[in-house]
Chains A and B, each alone.
Chain A
């Protein structure tokens, strides 16, 4: 709080922006995006409105961040504003953690409780005796009705120590490269910064490529799809949302890289870089959870 003192100097006032079109434009964007998706899913109309929403979404990010970057480069943000951004980003990441927690919760609940119950464990014995005599409730499962694309209801899973292990190594390596880039930005070593930042998002895109490969393999050869019962549901929703976050993170890293090429950031002031780095580490940690609980154990 000592820093709030500084605001008695007029050049160091807390910056309060005015007259921004982006928040209301952003709200309208999300509305178009979502009503586009609704109408498409309900088959009221085609994907047109949704596509307009996507285009507006891109315009939103470009436009809003453009203003923020200009203000930042213009020196309007004092250290207190910087701290607001930092705290905002931390709490945003916390909210993301809780979003993933819901899906991990679903996975644990299904594996530990509801699947064994469906199979007649304990007092639920009547499920076994009356409802699903032939159901062998062991994980991985696609349920008593053996849902999925194959006629015999079978499916295979992806072994942890193949592609997923390689992907783990890739993400962990990208955690190292971004840390090297972070040290470089602090020491003012722009060459190392540029190289290792580029390496980081390249590793991110490589991860995504391999993930796509894995998905294609699952869909075409393993009988493992989104509709392969609870296993397919949890597998694809968890890894899918994670993949979406890797995509966003990699795009963010790419934008930060473009900004470093333009000479933005100083060894002291580089909040945007750090925010993206935190986000990247968060995505990394989620993956470790996925690797252990979805692929491995």
Chain B
């Protein structure tokens, strides 16, 4: 197959490479996308298992199962695994599958780089997971790695730092690939403002990734040199400042949370119109809102650290800029509602997940507004309220959108339909589970329960028990997801060419299942502009 161009593969288009080589030496965007998604799923269950360790320990007051050090390792590792190992790779996997299909491109622009980005991840997480077995145990200072605590880690310290470096390289290269693919590989007639919103939100996400992952690399490099080479970036006695780490970290960290959620906006903006049988309301305002959110994400970072001490002017600035984000986000939420207005809505699994996203992400957004208020944040900071807030935006936010996307596109990918009944069961168990899990944590936080503790005062016992029950319902119902996908791919009903009759976009113009090489010849301008279905 060496030196085969897409021109050659035209003659033998189901000639896929076979065996292990297909995956190790992959350059095909669909194969790499599949690897990303499978990897994300594995890490989702690993990170989920850690979350269940946390919730098992917190089921009752007192120390039951694990010692406090290991508990802290679990919170730290759970976060790192879920953010860098589950959600981000899942989005990159979806981007790999969908971006070339949606813009009419034969593949990603830089296919070898694409495979490099993927294969860095298993190695990065090998490094990170190795920390569980080294003297001193896994990192336990929180995923934010604040010094001086993080500097006091044992042998896990350099492993964690270098794992983050590898993840960062992977993300940067993956993001460069997405930007270049979108900017350079669109079919003729596919203007930027004709692109499906998933491509738009991913373009903006990729820009954020390229801008902030290097900053994280810089921050952890400073930690490394502080630990091993005698620098004093974060040591006050040498003129440094531990708070400086927090500023640099959150300059990365806040755009990072939008990296996790922006592609979700894209997916939901594809699904809601399809199942409302109406075009998306306010397409351009969606694009501009996404871009505004991305811009604002660079000037709000210090709202994560109101309580560490900063000048009043700083607190005011970061409070107000944070609240400003509610405007573009509100535009999005209203647009989704307006899209559904007077639509003829049906409730298949992808739509159910998208609707849950709409409601539950908004709850997370509103608790975010509460946290943005400086005096209120003094109360909420580092409490379970914060935990509830960011889990509402990340689990029924980002994770639900990923699942919605998988249900939505699975028929096009595999050529087979999933079992709608089990899909709906998965949805309801997840949605009920996630609310039982996280809603009580608002109460716990407001009542004063701090985050990242293995034991707590007995007054918090009831809601912790409820929360833990929800955690196990949610966690185990995800096995259904694996079953549904596995079942569909193995023995699902054959999917029609257009599994959802009102789905629009180039991805749906391809045959089902999507051919190994997406658009070897770019679609005609007419297809790009109108598709092949009359509205």
Q: Which residues of A approach B to under 8 Å, CB–CB?
A: 1-2, 4-5, 7-8, 10-11, 13-24, 26-28, 30-31, 34-35, 37-38, 41-42, 44, 64, 71, 74, 76, 80, 83-85, 87-88, 91-92, 94-96, 98-103, 105-106, 109-110, 113-115, 117-118, 122-123, 137, 141-145, 147, 225-227, 229-234, 236-237
Interface status of B412 (Cβ within 8 A of chain A): no
- B133 interface residue (CB < 8 Å to A): no
Cβ contact within 8 Å between A233 and B162? no
Contacts of B379 in A (CB 8 A): none
User: Is the C-beta of B62 less than 8 angstroms from some C-beta in chain A?
Assistant: no
Contact A95 B180 (CB under 8 A): no
A-side interface mostly: helix
A11 to B8, CA, bound (A): 10
Tell me whether A27 and B123 are in contact (CB under 8 A). Answer: yes
Q: Is B429 an interface residue (CB 8 A)?
A: no
**Among A4, A71, A226, which residue has its beta carbon within 8 angstroms of that of B187?**
A4
Residue among B7, B222, B240 making CB contact with A13, cutoff 8 Å: B7
Q: Does B106 contact A (CB under 8 A)?
A: yes
Does the CB pair A18–B239 fall under 8 Å? Answer: no
Q: Is the CB of A102 within 8 A of B214?
A: yes
Q: Does B183 contact A (CB under 8 A)?
A: yes
Bound complex: CA A71 to CA B27 (Å) = 16
Report the separation of the CA atoms of residues A292 and B190 in the bound assembly, to the nearest whole angstrom: 45
Q: List 10 A-B contacts (CB under 8 A).
A: A13-B6, A16-B517, A24-B24, A27-B122, A85-B110, A94-B210, A95-B176, A102-B219, A118-B239, A231-B239
Q: Among B116, B186, B522, point to the contact of A23 (Cβ < 8 A).
A: B116
A88 to B110, CA, bound (A): 8
Interface segment, one of B48-56, B223-231, B327-335? B223-231
Determine the chain A residues whose CB is within 8 A of the CB of B217 once the complex forms. Answer: 99, 102
Cα of A127 to Cα of B242 in the assembled complex, Å: 15
Nearest CB of A to B255, in Å: 11
> Which chain A residues border B517 with CB–CB below 8 Å?
16
**0/1 interface trace, chain B 171-204, chain A, CB 8 Å (1 if under):** 0100111011001111110100000000000000
CA–CA, A70 and B379, complex, Å: 63
- Are B123 and A142 interface neighbours, CB within 8 A? no
**A74 to B241 CA separation, bound complex (whole angstroms):** 55
Task: Report the bound CA distance from A37 to B157 in whole Å.
Answer: 12
* CB–CB B158/A98 < 8 A: no
Nearest 7 CB-CB pairings of A with B = A102-B218, A227-B230, A143-B239, A230-B239, A114-B241, A145-B237, A233-B231
Q: Which residues of A contact B240 (CB under 8 A)?
A: 110, 114, 143, 229-230, 233
Asked whether, in the complex, the Cβ of B231 is within 8 Å of the Cβ of A24, the reply is no
Are A110's CB and B127's CB within 8 A?
no
- Is B5 part of the binding interface, using a Cβ–Cβ cutoff of 8 Å? yes
Q: Does B447 make an interface contact (CB < 8 A)?
A: no
Shortest Cβ gap from B192 to chain A (Å): 10
Among B104-131, those with CB < 8 Å from A are 105-107, 109-116, 118-120, 122-123, 126-127, 130
- Shortest Cβ gap from B521 to chain A (Å): 6
CB < 8 Å neighbour of A19 from B7, B25, B232: B25
Nearest residue (CB) in A for B225 is: A237
Instruction: Judge if B260 is at the interface, Cβ distance under 8 Å.
Output: no
- Residues of the B chain whose Cβ atoms lie less than 8 Å from the Cβ of A21: 24-25
Find out whether the CB atom of B27 lies under 8 angstroms from the CB atom of A229. Answer: no
Residues of chain A with a CB closer than 8 A to B123's CB: 27-28, 30-31
Q: Does B451 contact A (CB under 8 A)?
A: no
Which of A34, A41, A106, A233 is within 8 Å of B228, CB to CB? Answer: A41
Instruction: Tell me if A144 and B236 are in contact (CB < 8 A).
Output: yes
Residues of B within 8 A of A234 (CB): 233
Which of B112, B118, B213, B225 counts the most A-chain CB atoms under 10 A from its CB?
B112
Q: Which of B244-252, B350-358, B493-501 contacts A (4 or more CB under 8 A)?
A: B244-252
> Smallest distance from the beta carbon of B510 to chain A beta carbons, Å?
17
Chain A residues positioned under 8 Å from B4 (CB to CB): 18
Instruction: Give the complex CA separation of A208 and B240 in angstroms.
Output: 28
Assess whether B232 is in contact with A229, with CB atoms less than 8 Å apart: yes
Q: Could you list 14 further interchain pairs (A-B, Cβ under 8 angstroms) beyond the known A105-B215, A106-B222, A143-B236?
A: A2-B188, A17-B112, A23-B114, A30-B169, A35-B127, A37-B162, A41-B228, A88-B180, A91-B210, A95-B176, A98-B215, A100-B218, A114-B241, A147-B238
Given the known interface contacts A28-B123, A31-B126, A230-B240, the answer about A23 and B155 at a Cβ–Cβ threshold of 8 Å is no
Question: Does any Cβ of A come within 8 Å of B376's Cβ?
Answer: no
| A-side contacts of B458, CB under 8 Å | none
B218 touches A99 (CB 8 A): yes
Q: A23-B119, A38-B158 are in contact. Are A105 and B251 (CB under 8 A)?
A: yes
With beta carbons under 8 angstroms apart, the residue of A38, A85, A229 that contacts B238 is A229
A91 and B232 CA atoms in complex are apart in Å by: 31
Query: Which chain B residue has the least Cβ–Cβ distance from A131?
Result: B236
Asked if A4 and B231 sit within 8 Å, CB to CB, the answer is no
Pick the contact of A15 from B2, B5, B114, B211 — CB < 8 Å?
Answer: B5
Q: How far is the CA of A27 from the CA of B1 in the complex (A)?
A: 22
Do A8 and B521 touch (CB < 8 A)?
yes
Nearest CB of A to B282, in Å: 25
Q: How far, in whole Å, are A114 and B311 apart by their CA atoms in the complex? A: 12
User: Across the interface, do A98 and B159 meet the contact criterion of CB distance under 8 Å?
Assistant: no
Neighbouring A residues of B116 by C-beta, 8 Å: 22-24, 26-27
Residue ID in chain A nearest B121 by CB atoms: A27
- Are B225 and A226 in touch, CB under 8 angstroms? yes
CA distance A122 to B314 in the complex (A): 14
Q: How far is the CB of B466 from chain A (nearest CB, A)?
A: 42
Q: Is B437 an interface residue (CB 8 A)?
A: no
Q: In whole angstroms, what is the CA distance A27 to B120 when docked?
A: 5
Which residues of B have CB within 8 Å of A144? 236-237, 239
| Distance A110 CA – B123 CA, assembled complex (angstroms) | 35
Q: Does B471 contact A (CB under 8 A)?
A: no
CB-CB under 8 A from A14, the residues of chain B are 6, 105-107, 185
Alpha-carbon distance A30/B167, docked complex (angstroms): 11
| Closest B residue to A85 using CB positions | B110
Q: B222 — which chain A residues lie within 8 A by C-beta?
A: 102-103, 106, 233, 237
CB distance from A224 to the nearest CB of B (A): 13
With both beta carbons as reference points, the residue of chain A lying nearest to B219 in the complex is identified as A102
Q: In whole Å, how far is A36's beta carbon from the nearest beta carbon of chain B?
A: 10
B373 contacts the other chain (Cβ, under 8 Å)? no
CB contacts (< 8 Å) of A23 on chain B: these are 25, 112-116, 118-119
Contact check, B3 vs A76: say whether CB atoms are below 8 A apart.
yes
